[in-house]
Amino acid sequence: MALFLLIPSVVLLLLLILLPITRFLSKSLPLPPGPPGLPIIGNLHQLDISDLAVYLWGLSKRYGPLMSLRLGNVQTLVVSSAEMAKEILKTNDLVFCTRPILTGQQKLSYDNKDIAWSPYNEYWRQMRKICTLHLFSMKQVNLFRTVREQEVFDMIDRIKTRSSTKQAVNLSEDVMILYSNIICRVAFGKRPSAYNYRKKGKRLGELMLECQVMFANFFYRDYFPLMGWLDKLNGSIARLEKTFKDMDEFYQEVIDEHLNQNQPNKMQDDMVDILLKLKQDYSNDITFDHVKGVLMNILLAGTGTSASTVVWAMTMLIKNPEFLKKVQHEVRDAVGKKGKVEEDDLYKLDYLKAVIKEALRLYPAVPLLLPRESRDQCILEGYKIPKKTLVYVNAWAVGRDPKCWDRPEEFDPERFMGSNLEYKGADFEWIPFGSGRRGCPGLLMGTTAVELALSNLVYSFDWELPEGTIDIDTLKTKGTVMHKKNELLLVAKVP
Ligand code: HEM
């Protein structure tokens, strides 16, 4: 009996002694190394935001795969190797699975009532579970198959018309139109052009662009809480309010249209219908603001990411014609003279999938993933990571980690042939969709739409550089989604 009482007492005593010691030790541990900064602003003045992922990758070669920066008041960690990405996204996922509160994102997500920018909490857990089941599941993705096929075949027809005049095709523009059409039809039941009649308001495409600008905008209050007044003074807050109001009017119009049972030409069960049904079923938890927040995620997360992936894949294929030939051979062989690639054919196209994976390794659509924030203090590799540290996982750098990739700068789809690297994010040397609790829930929807478009592009045309063009540049845009900066202009020839 005495022993029965003695053992727990000893354990308790040890805990009482050890806990303060570990706390003390972890407090005295250093932060990960990083470039020295200036008082008050820290490293903010050094950041080259025109090509942030590449700039941070360069710095990490000097300071290591766990690198500290101080952005104004905000302690920041940049992660640049597969090994350390695994520490953040898997081993310590529960510590790093919340998002920072950022002014632009907070406003445009109705106070984080969305999925992407919501902090990690009970609301997010429920909403993500519900949306994964009802919006992003395989069953749901399959339901929208006809929309994807119609839109891709329409794009191919448009390119065919232009190819007969030998005009160069602006693939960046065509592919962006394609994915805006697909996402709007899947989400609202209509193409975006249906909303372009708006006289007072802006067109939907312009509005979406404005949201992206606001997401990437520098708000003083995010880094210097006492200097938020500067955001008012320089007009950032007024611009954000205006963007919010325009978007809100748009969502409201779409919702009113869906609530009106008599609307003409209505497609059955688009995403707004599903969200409105969920709002009814979970009337205590889901409001119109939640519906609008999730709509914002679908609109903005689903278009640019897929479009940039197709454009980078085509850029890489044109720059490496031997791989273009191989992938054309695979697709044309598998599909024969049918005239188009349908979704049923995609399972036969291993080489095409390898091309897309390799393009995503070298040009991940979201090169710094979405930022995370630590929910608690934690120790990594003997360094202290304080609570509320802003965390960037640099997928651009991870995809080029020489410890994981042979000839990392070379485009070679064959490295993915026969490899079991999967999209789901379990392999940390390749994380274009992130991983763990906050990994991309739209992965299946995104990859299916990318595979269908790319396979039809290489099946239907032979591609050449326009006359007088010697090579294609790989300059990138700034912002969360990394597009090719200069539009991809190519000549399409019907074989
Ligand atoms: C090629 C296409 C796509 C790529 C490369 C991509 C990539 C990503 C990445 C890197 C993240 C951040 C993951 C992290 O922090 O670990 C993300 C999050 C997210 N993506 Fe995607 N995405 C794509 C398509 C889509 C589509 C089609 C949708 C929906 C229509 C979507 C919806 C979302 C949402 C809602 C989140 C936030 C998840 C959360 O915070 O819980 N994505 N995506």
Sheet harboring 390-393: ordered strands across?
A: 66-71, 74-79, 390-393, 372-373
Rounded CA gap, 399 and 390, in Å? 21
What's the gap in Å between 317 CA and the centre of ligand 1? Answer: 25
- Residue type for position 450: V
For ligand 1, the distance from its centroid to the CA atom of residue 272, given in whole angstroms, is 19
pLDDT of residue 199: 47
According to DSSP, the residues that pair with 383 across neighbouring strands are 380
Of 141, 120, 121, 144, nearest to 131 by C-alpha is 141
Query: Measuring CA to CA, which residue among 457, 426, 123 is closest to residue 318?
Result: 457
Amino acid present at 249: E
> Is residue 131 a known part of a binding site?
no
For residue 394, give the nearest of 51, 118, 25, 1 by alpha carbon: 51
Q: Which tokens in the block code for residue 493?
A: 């020839």
Atom 6 of ligand 1: nearest residue by CA position: 433
DSSP 476: B
In short, whether 374's Cβ falls inside 6 Å of ligand 1 is: no
Please give the pLDDT value at position 193. Answer: 81
Probe residue for ligand 1, chosen from 138, 440, 450, 454 as the CB with the greatest number of ligand atoms within 8 Å: 440
Q: What is the DSSP letter of 30?
A: P
State the distance from the centre of ligand 1 to the C-alpha of 232, rounded, in angstroms: 31
Question: Rounded to an integer, what distance in angstroms lies between the CA atom of residue 213 and that of residue 243?
Answer: 10
Please tell me the predicted confidence (pLDDT) of residue 152: 98
- Buried-state track 11-33, b at ≥16 Cβ within 10 A, e below 16: eeeeeeeeeeeeeeeeeeeebbe
pLDDT at 235: 97
Minimal-distance CA residue to ligand 1 atom 3: 305
458, 365, 367: which is closest to 176 by C-alpha? Answer: 365
Burial of 105 from C-beta contacts in 10 A (0-12 / 13-18 / 19+): buried
- Report the C-alpha gap between 300 and 180 in whole angstroms: 9
Distances (CA, A) of 94 to 65, 198, 434: 20, 45, 14
Q: Nearest residue CA, atom 19 of ligand 1?
A: 440
Residue 180: count of CB within 10 angstroms of its CB: 22
| CB-neighbour burial class of residue 238 (10 A; exposed 0-12, middle 13-18, buried 19+) | exposed
Q: Which atom of ligand 1 is nearest to the CA of 183?
A: 30
CA distance 251 to 254: 5
* pLDDT of res. 427: 80
DSSP string, 133-188: HHTSSHHHHHHTHHHHHHHHHHHHHHHHHHHTTTPPEEHHHHHHHHHHHHHHHHHH
Q: pLDDT tens digits, the chain, 495 residues: what are they?
A: 455 666 666 666 665 666 566 565 566 899 999 999 999 999 999 988 889 999 999 999 999 999 999 999 999 999 999 999 999 999 999 999 999 999 999 999 999 999 999 999 999 999 999 999 999 999 999 999 999 999 999 999 999 998 888 889 999 999 999 999 999 999 988 888 877 655 455 688 888 889 999 999 999 999 999 999 999 999 999 999 999 999 999 999 999 989 987 666 565 688 999 999 989 888 878 999 999 999 999 999 999 999 999 999 999 999 999 999 999 999 999 999 999 999 999 999 999 999 999 999 999 999 999 999 999 999 999 999 999 999 999 999 999 999 999 999 999 999 999 887 777 667 899 999 999 999 999 999 999 999 999 999 999 999 999 998 989 999 999 889 999 999 999 999 999
pTM of the complete model: 0.92
State the ipTM, two decimals.
0.99
